[in-house]
Structure 1
Amino acid sequence: MNLFDVVKFYSGQPQFRVKEAEVAPLYYLYSQVNLEDDLCQSDQQNLSKWVRTSDEINSLTSTGDILFSLISGQAVRVGRQHQGFFYTQNYVKLVVEPQIDSQFLVYLLNEHPDIRKQLKNSLQGSQVLKYSIQQLRSLVLPRIPNLSMQKIIGEIYFKQQKLRYLKQRCADAEQLIILEQLRKVSVL
């Protein structure tokens, strides 16, 4: 079974085709920073570039959407803090069929060794490596467990991502405290 058998693909809009205007609705652009925040379920609000346009924007994110970055090769579920962001042609929205859990799909695309190997072996470009929608569509999936097992795997994966993020935040805060104490001692 290939990924296209269980997923529909919606490419982002090319940003260069959007005509900017001074007085028009404002759209934040979904970026790699936003993707990383969503992957670890960070509560930080990192606003990236934005565009004002009166053009019709078809590729806006919704909470829970699955986006795949054609640049980094990572999949993510969009968090509520990135609701309504404009995703460009560097991203593909994946809409899963009912037999696939969305969190499990993110785990599969990001962590399964066979999937990662297929993605790595078919990178395109000589200077800037980029994934393509076609190679994503043609990914051969491993044996997929039943839906209840998919939900368990997906939940554990997302909880582990959140735990890793929280541990990193604690380590960063601890380092700041220690460096501040060292600074105070060294000034004496």
Structure 2
Amino acid sequence: MKIDAIGKVIHGATISRIESKSGEEFYTYPVFTMQELSRETGQYGIKEEFQEVNIIKEKFDKSFLSEINMVVIGLTSYKALVIGDQNKGKLITSNFAIIEFNKNIIDPFYFSWYFNEHPKIEKQLRVAMQGSIIRALSIQMLRELDITVPSLEKQEKIGRLYYLRKRKEKLLFEKKSLEELFYKQLIVDKLKEDSKCQ
């Protein structure tokens, strides 16, 4: 089944078209960045970068704000992410595609697993990008990608498994980072003790 048949695929907001100029009334919103996508999809050590933008009030469209369980895809990283609590309410820019799914047909976590992990998608992306100088997916390319859609029950099981696996990976990374800090401090403290004894 083509992605276009199971959800609406749109481009994120082009900031230059909606950013406020001097004297215009605006709303301020945090921006969802490529760094956040990378950090959430496996590069857990990437430093957090906070960005925000002032948007002209009359040009503001709430459909560009991230919502829980919304799926976003990085057009240059080819990674899909289901938006969680920590990224809710952020502006999705033109570096991303937003997919609004029919929840009765597709589970967002299943889709995220399929897009990120399945060899069928990897093969389709390779074919779609052949001969392309700019290594970015177009919205049209995304709409045309084929995805296998089993029963919703099976999707939910696969999606849950994928969510738990990614969560475990992230927690293990955080544990390892904390252990490294702990042992580093332990060694520094030991050196201080030894220097006091001399």
Asked if TM exceeds 0.5, the reply is yes
1:5 — aligned with what? 5
2:99 — aligned with what? 94
2:67 — aligned with what? 62
Percent pairwise identity: 23
Moved over 6 A (4+): none
Distance (whole Å) between structure 1 residues aligned to residue 139 and residue 49 of structure 2: 26
Instruction: Decide whether the 8 Å contact of 2:106 with 2:152 is kept in 1.
Output: yes
Unaligned segments of structure 2, at least 5 residues? none
Q: Give the secondary structure class of the aligned counterpart of 2:105.
A: coil
Unaligned segments of structure 1, at least 5 residues? none
Counting matched residue pairs gives 182
User: Which aligned pairs between 1:1-188 and structure 2 lie closer than 5 A?
Assistant: 1-21=1-21, 24-36=26-38, 38-39=40-41, 46=48, 48-55=50-57, 56-58=59-61, 59-97=64-102, 98-123=104-129, 125-126=132-133, 129-142=135-148, 144-187=149-192, 188=195
Provide Cα deviations, 1:106-140, integer angstroms capped at 9, x if missing partner. 111111111122113323753x5211111111112
In the alignment, residue 180 of structure 2 is paired with which amino acid?
A: Q
> What is the Cα-based RMSD across aligned positions, in Å?
2.2
Q: Give the secondary structure class of the aligned counterpart of 2:29.
A: strand
Structure with greater Cα Rg: 2
Provide Cα deviations, 1:73-95, integer angstroms capped at 9, x if missing partner. 11111112222211111111111
Distance (whole Å) between structure 2 residues aligned to residue 164 and residue 62 of structure 1: 24
Instruction: Decide whether the 8 Å contact of 2:73 with 2:98 is kept in 1.
Output: yes
Instruction: Decide whether the 8 Å contact of 1:35 with 1:78 is kept in 2.
Output: no
Distance (whole Å) between structure 2 residues aligned to residue 62 and residue 121 of structure 1: 31
**Structure with greater helix share of residues:** 2
TM-score by length of 2: 0.82
TM-score by length of 1: 0.86
Distance (whole Å) between structure 1 residues aligned to residue 92 and residue 29 of structure 2: 10
